[in-house]
Amino acid sequence: MIWKKITIETTTEAVDMISYTLGELGVEGIEVEDKVPLSEEDKQAMFIDILPDLPPDDGVALVSCYVDHPDADADVLVEQIRQSLEQLRSFMEIGTGRLTVSETQDEDWINKWKEYFHPFRLGRIVIKPTWIPVTEVTLQPEDVLVEIDPKTAFGTGSHETTKLCILQMERYLHKNAEVLDVGCGSGILSVIALKLGAGQVFGVDIDPLAVETSYENLKANHLTETQAGFMQGDLIHDAEFASSIQKQYDVVVANILTEVILPLTEIIRPFLKPDGIFITSGILDVKAESVCDALTRNGFEILETTHMKDWVSITAKPSAIIGKPTSGQ
């Protein structure tokens, strides 16, 4: 289907009023593009882990809507929007108020990102999108093939944080290990754990769409629900959910943000076997020291800290002494 895309260039302060005005004109949904940093509440509501680097906020916003009206009806709507903007301009600052109209197809904005996800190799692990035929990928006999469609969940495997986790899983995960994947996203780490020989995997995520996507990627890799299960839940803030997981694991992997890893260090130790391994990633290098401090304070011994560009993965194990000081203290 071909859609008309109507875009208004305005100010960030005028976005709410313009959105309301569009609603009054019968527009059912809008898209807002700006450079305003997300609040903590926004990040939690949108289940965002890794945020892009944004340029400084310049106060400019683009408000777009998509309509499937015939050309004549779309022209009428454009004129109604133009008149409404002039009325708004009489009592508030709306910036340029410039209107542009273009055409787009469903796949243009649903699947556009797929152009940037290509097969790639990480050691003997080869990760490819599910929509690319396996015949287009060069494989060696010892390779581990992983097929992923992340949809709206985080986890194509191409981000440094995921790569760091994968490398540490290769190093520390033993055959038939039981693995807990905290913040499973697309399920990529769960799938790789099974491909590397794990016996059982359990993934949790606060985003219900992540759980759905993880099951789909499990199936895409010819793995079964007897090998892995996924559940929506919050280990940190939902004590009832956390207590329902009455199990200890050989490996716990958490590829999430520092702001989530820090409180996770306070509650994750009971989910690990005494000789278990805790692999964390999603940590900017400037925040690595605070994570190390939190781990040692909560009963962990740091085994290894690995780096890739600006990102850090920290691998730890339960220590015999709670509150053991970090080296150099």
Same domain, 90 and 165: no
Same domain, 79 and 211: no
Residue 322's pLDDT is 52
Q: Is residue 153 part of a domain?
A: no
Q: Is residue 308 part of a domain?
A: yes
Which of residues 110, 131, 149 is at a domain's end? 110
Residue 159's pLDDT is 86
Residue 45's pLDDT is 47
Is residue 40 within a helix (H) or strand (E), and if so which, with residue range?
helix 40-46
Same domain, 33 and 178: no
Q: Is residue 124 part of a domain?
A: no
Q: Is residue 129 part of a domain?
A: no
Same domain, 176 and 238: yes
Same domain, 166 and 306: yes
Could you give the number of structural domains in the chain? 2
| DSSP three-state, residue 32 | strand
Return all residues near 184 (Cβ < 8 A) that are at least 6 apart. 155, 190, 203, 204, 205, 210, 211, 214, 230
Strands 311-318 and 272-284: antiparallel
Secondary structure letter of residue 284 according to DSSP? E
What's the alpha-carbon Rg for the chain, to the nearest Å?
Answer: 24
Which of residues 68, 91, 110 is at a domain's end? 110
Return all residues near 81 (Cβ < 8 A) that are at least 6 apart. 6, 8, 21, 22, 25, 99
Domain of residue 64, CATH code = 3.30.70.120
Same domain, 297 and 177: yes
Same domain, 166 and 95: no
Evaluate whether 102 touches 5 at the Cβ level (below 8 Å).
Answer: yes
CB atoms closer than 10 angstroms to residue 188: 28
Q: Is residue 147 part of a domain?
A: no
Same domain, 167 and 309: yes
Q: Distance (Å, rounded) from C-alpha 301 to C-alpha 314?
A: 10
Domain of residue 170, CATH code = 3.40.50.150
Which of residues 110, 128, 150 is at a domain's end? 110
Q: What global pTM score does this model have?
A: 0.71
65 burial (CB, 10 Å; 0-12 / 13-18 / 19+) is: buried
Same domain, 104 and 164: no
> 295 is in which domain, residue-wise?
160-318
Tell me how far the alpha carbon of residue 180 is from its chain's centroid. 17
Same domain, 227 and 88: no
Same domain, 34 and 92: yes
Residue 100's pLDDT is 93
Evaluate whether 97 touches 85 at the Cβ level (below 8 Å).
Answer: yes
pLDDT tens track, the chain, 329 positions: 678 899 999 999 999 889 888 988 888 778 888 877 655 555 554 444 455 555 666 889 999 998 876 777 888 899 999 999 999 998 889 999 999 999 877 666 556 667 778 899 999 999 999 999 999 899 999 999 999 998 766 678 888 999 999 999 999 999 999 999 999 999 999 999 999 999 999 999 998 989 999 999 999 999 999 999 999 999 999 999 999 998 999 999 999 988 899 999 999 999 999 999 999 998 989 899 999 999 999 999 999 999 998 899 999 999 975 543 333 33
Q: Distance (Å, rounded) from C-alpha 2 to C-alpha 28?
A: 17
